[in-house]
Structure 1
Amino acid sequence: MKTAELDLLHDKMSTLFRGYAIPGIVASLSMCLYGIINGLILGRFVGPNALAAVNMASPIFNIISCIGILIAIGGNTLTAISLGEGNKEKANHYFNNAFYCLLAIAVVIFVSVVFFPELLARMVGANTVIFPMVVDYIQTFGIFVIPVIFNIFLGISLQSIGQPQLYMVGNMLMVVINIILDLIFVYVFKMGIFGAALASGISATIVFILFITKFVRKDSPLRIGKCKADFKAIGLMAYNGSSEAITQFSVGFSFMIFNWILISKFGEIGVSAFAVVQYISLIVTAVIMGISRGIGAITSVNYGAKQYSRIKELIAFAIKVVTSVGVVSTAMLLIFKSPLIAVFVKDNLDVILTSQEIITFYSFNFIFVGVNIVINVFYTAINNPRTSAILAILRYVLLIGGFFVLPLMMGNIGLWLSFVVAEIMCMVVSFIYYKKTTLKWR
């Protein structure tokens, strides 16, 4: 598939932002629809317990994939900076070391999820009601964990060579295939949570095949081929990608703790209610993540070329956009929370009421989360993993602390507001770091 390449060093920043942000948003929305469609179909045709099971299983994939993301993000940052320096040989050296290292990691992850699903289900705290569903989802989706992980790596690599459109097309294709297979497996053949996991895995595998064909072509700036193992380079990748890995691990770990709290206080009703909120919130998060991930490659290439003024222009614009998206999204969630919840749950009053309460407070989180994500991506993109890691750790330490402290002062409302308070506090620190960094570029 032939797509136009963008010039990351010379095109206007407004053109690059549109060229990367729009495909990034569409790709992220496609990935979130990937989850929402599963949730909608499972909630409607299997039941709220199926939603709870997927929500319980999700932290497992966040945590075990963090090592893969460590190499995927770190490797592509070094690759993109090398491309910005005009050194394609060095860029391919980093790319191929990252590819083969990631392949080895993905195999280990595959073995873990396919052969030990019961152990993992116990780790996330699944109770006897949803335990079989959690095991079924982990094991089935785990079969496809290799293409799922590589889609992240290859998608970011497509952005580094100026082809974000292909990443967007691939993710849109994945959603279409997933919808069709979901309806066939879950609705027609009544395969339940197994069918939903199977549909997701097959669609991800088809897109993996589409992506990888781009990197075996002779005319590709980055091409899969033989390379000399460079453990120093792999170490640099791991170091640079550490903040993203910490973020991914922290997301899984914090939500695992949150699920433990929910299931102990509210039972599966609480987990089901929060799952509904998460499905609704996926759309907002996808837009913000699409914008943020889209600017990563632009920042890295321009940093390699020492075009600092272009980077500051890009980040300032991105922060304005994600904040505006957050304000509008919060307002929309507060106004339309009841009909949105009704899409997923139709006849369970306890789940509906709990979901409404969570959204009332949790939705304010989106006003602030975008700034933290943009600045974190910025530090990873300029090869400053130390600062990125500090901000990532701080964000989730504050969040987990809030889970235990705020409910003592405010009851259940404090639990839902933990997300908002953590984002506000981290945003203040993130701005301080960002200002100090950019002042040195004068």
Structure 2
Amino acid sequence: MEIRGDLKTYSKYVSLNVAGMIGTSVYILADTLFVANGIGETGIAALNLALPVFSLVQGLSFMLGIGGATWYSILRAQNKHEEATKSYNQTLLFGALISFVIILLGLFGSESIAKLVGANQETFTMTNTYIKVIMVFSPFFIFNNMLIAFIRNDRNPKLAMTAMLLGSLINIIFDYIFIFPLNMGMFGAVLATSCAPIFGLMLMSTHFKRAENSLRLTKIKLKLKSFWTITKLGVSSFISEMSSGIVMFIFNILILGIAGNIGVAAYGVISNLAIIAIAIFTGVAQGIQPIISHIFGLRNSKLLNRNLIYGLITSLSISVLIYLIIGMSSEQLISFFNRDNNMILAEIAKEGLLIYFVGMFFAGFNIIAIACLSAMDQSGLAFRFSILRSVILIVPFSFVLANSFDLTGVWASFVLTEAITSVLISWQLYRSNKQRIII
């Protein structure tokens, strides 16, 4: 069965993946809401310090899942079914190896990692607990996200979405039970998050009983060349996910120096709402990816252009809607996280939201455009733009602007980074289209 490139197919894949990614982002949002109301602002600060590690685990799983699934889709579109099956099995093997390494790091290095991300005497115990449990449970996150990508590309996006939503629902239920009736604190929050993907995996196992299933297990030998191909196609997804973690890490360190733990807690409110926004854009990107990969394999430039335009229009529409919600409801949104009605936290968070979320107009475009480049086997370009927005620009901008404008400079550095990246991507797409390099 072919993936058609019409508006109906685009809407189906994108809407299902946006819903699923919002569900996935609720993992962290639910933790933060329950921690905020069950533990308080110190808990939010500790959680925010630990989140870059969660972003790393998620980023690796997206790299393997999106990279392997993109390769799989291109091969199947070219009727290379045996090679496609091998790509699927190689991805699973690499996922197992990476999971093993992360478990070892979690068991023996979580305390060092907690200190590295900025945990102090007040937040160390909770930060260390969150990091250790996330890393020990990393195989479930990694295989969950890998299978979501492959099952979506195997013409079953509805099951992939349902699995993501089920995990989020389980996380919310367990968060409440573990934090309030059982009074398990931060350990309860991270345990709830870590159990959630297990249920998603259980649900997705039903895909392999379908007659239409084309994902088969087969004996293979480990091939580093395959890992390079998977990584090359998925690295932009890794960096897109990790960019949130990198920004969070840098901002945490800067904000600790400017406003202490209360500032980090306020940033925790901003970063959690930003995770929802980024998840929506990532959902659009992941929804359009199998369509773009398939059409690219068929070399249909007209259909390819049409779907790229769909993606860009979607990005702009979502950006406007998100900023309207933030602008009109910032005080109400902040109150959900501010159990003790701390006025300093509320003021910092409100200013930060209004400045930081201007960057979402550019971030949405960047995420979708980079995913499309990767889906069209332009992994070099995708990687360069991903690393540009997540490291090369944001690091110096945040330090320079924070030094000059304190917290306002921290928020503005995100906006400036995404805006410059958007200009450069637009220029590259214009040149590539004019010279027929991409399509």
Give the structure-2-normalised TM-score.
0.94
- Rounded Cα–Cα distance in structure 2 between residues aligned with 1:32 and 1:371: 19
- Rounded Cα–Cα distance in structure 1 between residues aligned with 2:401 and 2:307: 36
Mean alpha-carbon deviation: is it higher for 230-239 or for 139-148? Answer: 230-239
Say if 2:21 and 2:280, in contact at 8 Å, map to a contact too.
yes
Mean alpha-carbon deviation: is it higher for 58-67 or for 211-220? Answer: 211-220
Correspondence 1:286-297 to 2 at 5 A: 286-297=279-290
The answer to whether residue 428 in structure 2 is matched with residue 438 in structure 1 is no
Say if 1:337 and 1:359, in contact at 8 Å, map to a contact too.
yes
Alignment match, 1:392 = 386
Say if 1:68 and 1:106, in contact at 8 Å, map to a contact too.
no
Alignment match, 2:318 = 325
Residue aligned with 2:180, SS: helix
Say if 1:57 and 1:124, in contact at 8 Å, map to a contact too.
yes
The Cα offsets for residues 170-202 of structure 1, whole Å up to 9 and x where unpaired, read as 111112211211111111111111001111111
Alignment match, 2:293 = 300
Mean alpha-carbon deviation: is it higher for 367-376 or for 139-148? Answer: 139-148
- Rounded Cα–Cα distance in structure 2 between residues aligned with 1:67 and 1:45: 31
Alignment match, 1:427 = 422
The answer to whether residue 188 in structure 2 is matched with residue 195 in structure 1 is yes
Say if 1:92 and 1:222, in contact at 8 Å, map to a contact too.
yes
Residue aligned with 1:267, SS: helix
- Rounded Cα–Cα distance in structure 2 between residues aligned with 1:244 and 1:12: 22
- Rounded Cα–Cα distance in structure 2 between residues aligned with 1:434 and 1:100: 35
The match for 2:261 among 262, 268, 284 is: 268
- Rounded Cα–Cα distance in structure 1 between residues aligned with 2:232 and 2:314: 30
Mean alpha-carbon deviation: is it higher for 219-228 or for 133-142? Answer: 219-228
The answer to whether residue 232 in structure 2 is matched with residue 230 in structure 1 is no
| 1:398 partner letter | L
Correspondence 1:15-414 to 2 at 5 A: 15-64=8-57, 66-215=59-208, 220-346=213-339, 347-396=341-390, 397-414=392-409
The Cα offsets for residues 200-248 of structure 1, whole Å up to 9 and x where unpaired, read as 1112112122224534767521123322433322222222223333344
| 1:107 partner letter | F
Say if 2:86 and 2:218, in contact at 8 Å, map to a contact too.
no
- Rounded Cα–Cα distance in structure 2 between residues aligned with 1:20 and 1:65: 21
Say if 1:24 and 1:164, in contact at 8 Å, map to a contact too.
yes
Residue aligned with 2:15, SS: helix
CA shift for structure 1 position 65: 5.0
Residues 336 and 249 of structure 1, relative CA distance in 2, 3 Å threshold? closer
Identity rate, percent: 26
The Cα offsets for residues 346-397 of structure 1, whole Å up to 9 and x where unpaired, read as 3222211111111121121111111101111011111221101110111122
Matched residue count: 435
Mean alpha-carbon deviation: is it higher for 219-228 or for 245-254? Answer: 245-254
Output the aligned Cα RMSD. Answer: 1.8
Say if 1:79 and 1:95, in contact at 8 Å, map to a contact too.
yes
Gaps of 5+ in 2: none
CA shift for structure 1 position 163: 0.9
Mean alpha-carbon deviation: is it higher for 140-149 or for 64-73? Answer: 64-73
Say if 1:334 and 1:360, in contact at 8 Å, map to a contact too.
yes
Residues 209 and 43 of structure 1, relative CA distance in 2, 3 Å threshold? same
Ranges of 4+ aligned residues in structure 1 off by more than 6 Å: none
Gaps of 5+ in 1: 1-5
Residue aligned with 2:393, SS: helix
